[in-house]
Each structure stands twice: as C-alpha cells, then as structure tokens.
Amino acid sequence: MNIAIVTACPNGQVSSVLSARLLEAAAQRLGWSTSVEVHDPRQPQGQLSAAVIAAADWVLVVSSGPLDLQRFAGKRLFQSTPAQALSDTQHFLCQAAEQAEVYQPVAETPSTPVERSARIVAITACPTGVAHTFMAAEALQQAAQQLGHQLTVETQGSVGARNPLTPAAIAEADVVLLAADIEVPTERFAGKRIYRCGTGVALKQAQATLNKALAEGREESTAQSANTSTTRSEKTGVYKHLLTGVSFMLPMVVAGGLLIALSFVFGIEAFKEPGTLPAALMQIGGEAAFKLMVPLLAGYIAYSIADRPGLAPGMIGGLLASTLGAGFIGGIVAGFLAGYSAKAISRWVRLPSSLEALKPILIIPLLASLFTGLVMIYVVGKPVAGMLEGLTHFLDSMGTTNAILLGVLLGGMMCVDLGGPINKAAYAFSVGLLASQSYAPMAATMAAGMVPPIGLGIASFIARRKFAQSEREAGKAAFVLGLCFISEGAIPFAAKDPLRVIPASIAGGALTGALSMYFGCKLMAPHGGLFVMLIPNAINHALLYLLAILAGSLLTALVYAVLKRSEVVELAVQPVKA
C-alpha cells in the first residue's frame, strides 16, 4: 500500500516532525510505502508534488489547525489530530485505511461558517516561554478544530511575542482568551470580551476553556484590566505577580550570568586587571546587568498589580533594595509595596475630572514612590538586608549535612510539578541568590531540573518492551530537552502516568541536588543545561557535576523502568490488524 502523510501543527513545528516520524515508522512496519510532508507554508517547495499525490492509494492528514485540502480532491483521505494519531500509531493507521473516504470539496456559502463557528483570538504566556506557552497553544488549536471554532494564538514569554495578533483578527474576534501565568497588557483589546485562565488549565482542559471563554468572557476597561487578575480563580494573586516579575527579570539574569561566566574563560581572577576584556565583560554582566536585576523584578511585580502607574515606584523601590543590600528579597517586598500602594491610590484618591489625567503620570508615581521609598529606607531595608546577609553567610558556611538537606529540598522541588509553581519557586530562589554571589543553589537547581526528562529518556531505552513506540520516540525528545535544562520535556510521561513518573523524578532530582551540594559545585550561569559547561570555569568541579546529574538520571530511569506497566494493548492489537 502506498500512502501520503501530511502533518501540520501551526504552533508547534516539533509536534509536526514528531508526528511525521512516528507515523512513517509505523507505516513501514506494516509494509507500506510512504511519502511524507511536514507542512510549512513558508517553504512550499517541501510539499508533496501532484504526481506523488496521484500515485498514493490514500492520504492521511494529521493537523491541529486549519489546512487547505483542495489539492487532495478525488483522493481517499482521512483527517485527524496529533493526540489521536500518536496514542497507538499502527492501530490508528489500520483504522484510518479502513475509514478513509474520497474527499470532495464542498462549496462554502458565505453565511454558514460565520454563523456556525466562533472566532477566538488567544494569548498564551508563561514566565520562560519555553514549554507551557507552546504546549497550551497547541492544545487550544486542537480543541478549536474539534469544536469547529476559528482560533488564532499569539505566544509570549521571555523570548517575546510570536505569531502576533493583527488588529483585523482582534476586531473580528468574538472573545479574547488570555491563557497566561504572567500579566499580559490588554490595551489593544479595548471593547472586546476577555476571559483569563492559566496555561495549565488551557493545556489540560482545552475544550472546556474555549467554551468558558465564549460563555463567560466579559468586557474590561483599561483601568479594570490591571485588577481583573485578582478576581479569577486560576493563577492569581501573589504568585502571578511574582511570576510576572521573574519573567521580565530572567533575560537580564541569563545575559548577566553568561557574561560573567565568559569573563572567567580568561581565568577566575582575570577580571581584576583594569582595561582588559575580562574586566569589561565583568563590568557589563556583574555591574550593569546584575544591578538591574532587582529593580526589574520589583518594577514588574508592581506593574502586574497596578499596571503602568506601578512601574516607576516599583523600580525605584527595587533600586533602593539593591542599594540597601536587601537583594532580591527586598526587591520582592518593594514590588508588592509599590504595586498595592499605587493600586490603592488609583482606587481611593478622587480628583476633579479636569485633574484626573494627572493621576497616572504625576499623582500615583509621586505618592507611591514616596511611600515605597520611605518604607524601604526606614522600615524594611535594614532588617531584610540583615536577613539576606545571614542567609548568604549560612549558605556559604553551612556544613555538609545542611548542604545535602538543602540540595535534597531544591532538587525535589524542581521535579514535583515539572515547570509548575513549585518548580518555579525553587528556580526563582536560586536565581535571586546569584546577585549575592551564592552559586551553589543554582548548580543544584539546574542539575536536578535536567534529571526527569533525561531519566525518562533513558528508561524508554533500557526498558523498551514496556514502552509503546510513540513513547520511545517521545523519550528521545525528552532526553535532548533535558540536556538543555527544559524540565517540561517529561510532561507527556507525567500526564499519562503521574503516580509513577513523579515519585521516580523526585527521587532522582533529590539525589542529584544532594550530590551537587555535597561536591560543592557552583554554577555562574542560570540557564543553558550541559551546554554551559562549554564555557571554561562556568562551573567548578565539572566532572563531579556530571556525575551528580548522571546518578540522579539513572536512579529515575531505574525506578520508573521497574514501576512502569508494560504497554500490552499495543502489542495485542498489532498482529490482528496487520
């Protein structure tokens, strides 16, 4: 049998490639010949030719978004989504071959699609913009296709906006869905109905989220948008405001940390020589980037709470926290002080209509900055600075037992929810300590964060018979993501088998964190995974650090390989259908 396979996932090129590889391998095991197209409108030369389509017995289209099927007119065709296709690839192919029907394009009347389908625009955003952002977008695209809605998704994160929403798309939308763990500006959605939720909710309950957005979306004014986050049940309050600050701070920390690490390429003490390149790198990374870290954190915490009027007092409070030696803890306090004071002034200070325009540019920044500054100088600054100094001294001088216990705690936290709130809390704590020259927690945190995807990738290799083919392919992808310090690579396994994956991951992460602290490993850069080790002196005790990661990954792999149940369903189906 000769089939043509087309995969198209607009918000996840990785999903397209993975679907194509798994389906092609399954078809070849059935003895079929295949022609594969990973659909990419930007590179039309990669599409299947008319001759290849004509020679195919039938066409399989796996997509999570709208796709033009006109070129397949007259061919037997079967269309599905990646989630359905990858659950059991060979069984799926056999069913698709039986159910494929001749495709006849239907002439669309102008009124029918407009009346029967809703138009939705969405934004997905998480603090790093690495995994949850794109996974939520992919899930929403699939759900919209199943429900018959037209959905356009813009993804945001520390990398900025991708596939930005056009004014025309916003104007035509029935509702705006903000699936975000950080605060998203809403000025461009003035006059539109808005529904808010977290990326986790959108990822796990995509169809329900779209239905709720259409049913419960409410119009927000610009003034209300900053306050709306406190009225929603998902990802609200202190946690969301903190994550917004961390999201804007992360690029500064990563850039500064890597620049400091690059200065160590020339020697640990080379930056002390004035006028040299190492000194310049240290000046850019340590004296500029790291000094801006705390003001950015505080400023965008306040921005999340009070919108633009909170930004100036937040940054002023953050700079005072840095100057007073209160560090990132003081910056967090300053951000919340500035944000809630600006919000209170905006709500309770009443002015004549002729003077109302002065509030956001004069009254709120002045009064909120004055209040935040005075509280930081006379009340908060010194006690928090003393607490941070004590914490730093404890971390630098703690004994072996305390170091191991801290490593166990941070390592376990990094593996509990794989990119969720607990994971982010451990990571934010370790990143904040970099400004205080405490590098050991960062090493333990990043090492432990790599363990779940690496360990599960190894498990899918050493216990191959217990894993379905689709899981073995997902294990390869998870292994690579783990090397890059992307813990979310383990989410597909955790979503399918949480009661076994999570304990196995926590065991490996806790071991790695404990060993990293025991070996005294210190990491200068806050991200990059094993590739940071290519920078000389970025990590001390490099071999011991690798040993810690390897030990935890193997523990996770062995525990899960023992606990996992065999995929007997796939093995039972294959002989019957083949």
Number of Cβ within a 10 Å radius of residue 250: 23
Tokens 């009661």 label which residue?
499
When pLDDT is averaged across residues 68-75 and rounded to a whole number, the result is: 84
When pLDDT is averaged across residues 531-554 and rounded to a whole number, the result is: 88
pLDDT bracket for residue 13 (50, 70, 90): low
Residue 17 has pLDDT above 60, yes or no: yes
Nearest to 315 by CA among 302, 333, 330: 302
User: Is domain 119-219 annotated with CATH 3.40.50.2300?
Assistant: yes
Does the model's pTM come out above 0.85? no
More confident residue, 335 or 470: 335
Given 9, 94, 197, 521, the catalytic residue: 9
Tokens of 322: 């840095």
Q: Which of 108-112, 344-348, 371-375, 532-536 is the least confident region?
A: 108-112
At residue 236, the pLDDT reads 52
For the chain, the domains span 2-103, 119-219, 237-397, 400-418+438-563
Residue 237 has pLDDT above 80, yes or no: no
Per-residue model confidence as pLDDT tens digits over 94-148: 888 888 888 887 654 444 443 447 889 999 887 665 567 777 888 888 888 888 8
Q: Which of 46-55, 323-332, 375-384, 418-427 is the least confident region?
A: 418-427
Q: What is the DSSP letter of 107?
A: P
Q: Which region, left, alpha or beta, applies to residue 243 given φ > 0 means left and ψ of -120 to 50 means alpha?
A: alpha
Residue 65 dihedral angles phi and psi, to the nearest 5°: -160, 175
Q: Which amino acid is at 277?
A: L
When pLDDT is averaged across residues 358-363 and rounded to a whole number, the result is: 82
Residue 414 has pLDDT above 70, yes or no: yes
Per-residue model confidence as pLDDT tens digits over 241-270: 887 888 788 778 778 877 887 887 787 678
When pLDDT is averaged across residues 400-407 and rounded to a whole number, the result is: 87
Residue 471 has pLDDT above 70, yes or no: yes
Given 126, 197, 415, 521, the catalytic residue: 126
Q: Which residues contact 229 (CB under 8 A, 6 or more apart)?
A: 183, 196, 236, 237, 240, 241, 304
Per-residue model confidence as pLDDT tens digits over 498-530: 888 899 999 999 999 999 999 999 887 777 778
Q: Do domains 2-103 and 119-219 have the same CATH topology?
A: yes
CATH H-level superfamily of 2-103: Response regulator (3.40.50.2300)
Residue 341 has pLDDT above 90, yes or no: yes
Residue 204 has pLDDT above 80, yes or no: no
When pLDDT is averaged across residues 164-169 and rounded to a whole number, the result is: 86
More confident residue, 454 or 275: 454
Nearest to 417 by CA among 239, 190, 228: 239
At residue 260, the pLDDT reads 82
More confident residue, 43 or 492: 492
At residue 304, the pLDDT reads 87
Per the annotation, the verdict on 415 as an active-site residue is no
The order of strands in the sheet holding 218-219 is: 150-156, 119-125, 175-180, 193-197, 218-219
Per the annotation, the verdict on 9 as an active-site residue is yes
CB 102 within 8 A of CB 77: yes
CB 214 within 8 A of CB 120: yes
When pLDDT is averaged across residues 58-66 and rounded to a whole number, the result is: 81
Mean pLDDT estimate for the chain: 81
At residue 315, the pLDDT reads 94
Report the C-alpha gap between 352 and 363 in whole angstroms: 13
pLDDT bracket for residue 180 (50, 70, 90): confident
